[in-house]
Structure 1
């Protein structure tokens, strides 16, 4: 079946039924990156997604969990050859996690170095209150010819958006991001050929219920309105962007 949509950041294993979540992405014909938060979670995600035409599992070590899971970095390195997709990784300088920020930096630096050594990895990157630090580390440790970075739910400044574009980064956008004026301004700053959609389910909610896996159409519709682009043209552009960073999809 032909891919129709892109959900480049969804926590499928945090829904009650992982198999059912994968099936939803397949039913919607949505190419989906199933990000994980710890290396230990990756094997099960990979196993259940292995027969899916649309779902690919990412190997992650979430910055919010680094303080308790940094010892899994060795497992991350061990599992790295088994996937092209990395996520969720990055930095979080929010109040709840700032205490571990230097440890996060060390772990993220190691992940970028390992990915650069391996080559051809595609990373979904978290950057809460830390866009400059993320971009600094990406620039230093992951050259554009050694991997691709997709900045997930980016909330940095306009100059940081432009810097991300200059570094070759892509940006994945969800409908919640577009509910704020800043998020809409960020979208306007991102060239269409660097955009992807995401749900970030189940963390994004609508009517107090988690958005469903692969259900990116509301974000796509809103993005087309904001950018004043025909929705079909934008949809085709996002699919081309996905093929550009992940040719087999």
Structure 2
């Protein structure tokens, strides 16, 4: 049963949606399970109150895909950058790779709203060594300095180093958000001291400790996202008990038009993130949602006013 509460009166901006992922083409681990259904995913998003969606670019090639997808709809936007676990891609020709990212951002200013996803990830160093991640995170900060775009930042178990690298550049960038935040109170303070925003999704709400941290984020520094098709709020997550809105779903092998795929996150589920945050913070979801929307609009879209 779908319970919408006051959902249709709320406006959302999903700051991180991986809509170029093969899952939205019906492909899972290289195996075709159902027809492409991204248009249906977007239809559900607009019905749920999404006003804008930012498609995440995670490499040069993926940023190009994200941009092309963004051009198909006036409410879709994209980022340009290279995820820390993919920074080995820089190594063949670092200057050219960086120049290509720069060109992509500068030539598409109506659609590209941030530099990223870039940052540090010390949980998956098997994909890219720490020294390489650090080198090309700093290189991508220069893209933000030159373009004036805010940053969409990835941080996994690397808060201290991330802040150390960002600090000398902070006055020269227009701002940014550390997305999918699941760090400690200490890491939160370090990031807030840089006057950056904090992005919360299902992966930020897994444990009781996560909930305690999320409840302390100053409302004026808060944003929400889905990071779909990942980071759904699962029944095993501490935050799940606070969800009020549910959506029908079926296993991918039994795909049905108009029904979500089980365990594949979508932008419309952003309403669940808001519900959990409102509950753990003891705040009115409509007022919280409005503030979060305004925070997001101000960082990424204020030039449109």
Query: Normalization by structure 1: what TM-score?
Result: 0.89
Q: 1:58-97 CA distances to partner (integer Å, 9 max, x unpaired)?
A: 1121111112454433321221212232221111111543
The one of 215, 229, 234 equivalent to 2:288 is 234
Moved more, 63-72 or 194-203: 63-72
Q: Superposition pairs for residues 143-158 of structure 1, below 5 Å?
A: 143=171, 146-158=173-185
Q: 1:135-155 CA distances to partner (integer Å, 9 max, x unpaired)?
A: 122211232x63221111223
Give the RMSD, CA atoms, in angstroms: 2.4
1:48 paired with 2:69, answer yes
SS at match of 1:12: coil
5+ residue gaps in structure 1?
A: none
Q: Shift in Å at residue 110 of structure 1?
A: 0.6
5+ residue gaps in structure 2?
A: 1-8, 26-35, 236-261
Distance 1:241 1:45, change over 3 A: same
| C-alpha separation in 1, matches of 2:78 and 2:113 | 9
Q: Superposition pairs for residues 1-249 of structure 1, below 5 Å?
A: 4-14=11-21, 15-16=24-25, 17=36, 18-30=38-50, 31-70=52-91, 71=93, 72-81=97-106, 82=108, 83-97=112-126, 100-119=129-148, 121-143=149-171, 146-205=173-232, 206=234, 209-246=263-300, 247=302, 248=304
Q: Shift in Å at residue 51 of structure 1?
A: 4.4
| C-alpha separation in 1, matches of 2:10 and 2:58 | 26
Query: Normalization by structure 2: what TM-score?
Result: 0.73
Q: Shift in Å at residue 179 of structure 1?
A: 2.4
Q: Shift in Å at residue 172 of structure 1?
A: 0.9
